[in-house]
Amino acid sequence: MSHVIDPEALVSVILTKRELATVVAALRTAQGQGFPALSYEMYFNDFPPLERREIDELCRNLEYPGG
């Protein structure tokens, strides 16, 4: 039986407002600077990081004011 990771699978997480602000700030930083390949490669073994437009959409979906 092979283990297949679905990059479109839904995940539900509960965040505090402070955590949400940190996530959005990290996303915007990554959007502007990109992900340093060596620092984050373990997170992207199974699928690539989001593109700039996808980060915009994610921040809108997070419904963070100013996100």
The span from the CA of 4 to the CA of 14, in Å, is: 25
pTM of whole model > 0.75? Answer: no
Nearest to 65 by CA among 16, 33, 24: 24
Please give the C-alpha separations between residue 54 and each of 28, 41, 59, 65, in angstroms, as whole numbers: 11, 19, 9, 18
Read off the DSSP letter of residue 8: T
Tens-level pLDDT at each residue, the chain (67 residues) = 556 667 677 778 888 989 999 998 988 888 888 776 666 777 777 888 888 898 899 888 887 665 5
CA dihedral angle for residue 23, residue 29, residue 31, residue 37, rounded to 10 degrees: -100
